Amino acid sequence: METKILFADIDGTLLNDQKEIPKENMTAIQKALDLGHYVVVATGRPLDSAKAVAKDLGLMMQGCYLIAYNGAIVYDCGNEKVLKKESLPLSYVKELFERAKKAGLYIQTYKGNQIITTQDSPELEAYRNHTKLSYQVVEDVFEVLDEEPQKAMLIHLTDKSKLEQFQRDNMEWQKGKCISLFSMDTYLEYCPPGATKAAGVDFICEYLDVPLKNTVAAGDERNDIPMLQEAHIGVAMKNAKEEVKACADYVTQRTNNEAGIAEVIEKFLLSES
C-alpha cells in the first residue's frame, strides 16, 4: 500500500456540531497512522487553537502536521516546530482596521495566538467561545503589535451580506496585497497572498516527498475549496456548502455529526482499491 496523506478541515469536518471529536474518527485516524499514512489538520484557526484540537485527537506525534491560519503557518506536530510562516504587513492590517471601522464592522487580528481587537463585543465573545483563545481589547492595536500577524478577520454574527458587501467594496484595494475568503458565513478573513490550504497541501507533499496523486482532502466550507481542488481526491462532507460539493470528487454519505471523516479514511486510505 502506498503512503498517502489525508488533509482534513476541523470545524464541520473532523468535529461534530458540538465541537467534539467522534470516537469513530479517532479510531480511523489511528488506523491510518498505524499503516504509515500521514494526517494533516488544515484549518483557518490560529496555531494554538489547531494544536489543542490535534492534542485531543492524539495527533501531536510523528506523522502528523497542521496547516493553520488558512495556510499561513505549516507546523510539524511530531517535532513541534513551524515549517512555514507567512504574514500580513502591518500597513495592510492598519488599513483593514480603518476600512472596517468606516463600514461599522467588527475586526480583529492576532499577536502570536492571542486575539487583538479594539472592541469588547458579541463577535469577540462568540469567537473566543469557538477557539478558546486569550485576547486583548486595546485602544490602538498598532501600539500592541510588535510583529506582522498571519491574518485579520471581520465578523458579523447575523448578516452575512454586510461582510459580502465589504469584500466587494475592497476587492480592488486587496489586489496584490492579500486575499479574502469566507471560512464560515460569519467570518471574512484577510490573509497573505500565498496563504491558502492548497499552498499548504503543496508544501507538505514536497516536504514529505509524497506525490499529489496520493493525497485526499476533506472539508465543508468555501475556504476548503482550493484544498479540495489541489488534492488528488477532493471530498466534500455531506453537510458541506453546495458550492463545495460542486467542486468535489466525492461527497460523503455521512455528516460531520456521523463521523464522516471515518468514512473518508476507510474508503480512500484503508481500502486497497
Q: What cell numbers appear for 247 in the block?
A: 467542486
Q: What cell numbers appear for 194 in the block?
A: 500565498
Q: What cell numbers appear for 76 in the block?
A: 510539524
Q: E-assigned strands of 43-151?
A: 64-68, 73-76, 81-85, 106-111, 114-117, 135-137
Is residue 235 within a helix (H) or strand (E), and if so which, with residue range?
strand 233-236
Instruction: List pLDDT tens digits, range 199-239.
Output: 999 999 999 999 999 999 999 999 999 999 999 999 999 99
Is residue 155 within a helix (H) or strand (E), and if so which, with residue range?
strand 152-155
Burial 174-196 (b: 16+ CB within 10 A, else e): beebbbbbbbbebbbbbbbeebb
Q: What cell numbers appear for 11 in the block?
A: 470545524
Confidence (pLDDT) at 225? 96
Confidence (pLDDT) at 272? 66
Confidence (pLDDT) at 112? 84
Integer-rounded Cα radius of gyration of the chain: 18
* Under 8 Å between Cβ of 184 and 9: no
- Can you tell me the distance from the alpha carbon of 169 to that of 237, in angstroms, rounded to the nearest whole number? 31
Q: Measuring CA to CA, how many Å separate 66 from each of 97, 102, 144?
A: 28, 35, 27
Residues of the chain with pLDDT under 50: none
- Can you tell me the distance from the alpha carbon of 25 to that of 13, in angstroms, rounded to the nearest whole number? 10
- Can you tell me the distance from the alpha carbon of 137 to that of 118, in angstroms, rounded to the nearest whole number? 5
Measured at the CA of 192, the angle between CA 222 and CA 180, to 5 degrees, comes to: 35
Residue 86 one-letter amino acid = E
Q: Domains plus CATH for the chain?
A: 5-86+195-268 (3.40.50.1000), 90-191 (3.30.1240.10)
**What strand order describes the sheet that includes 5-8?**
81-85, 73-76, 64-68, 38-42, 5-8, 215-219, 233-236, 250-251
First to last CA, the chain: 10
Q: What are the φ/ψ torsions at residue 124 (nearest 5 degrees)?
A: -65, -45
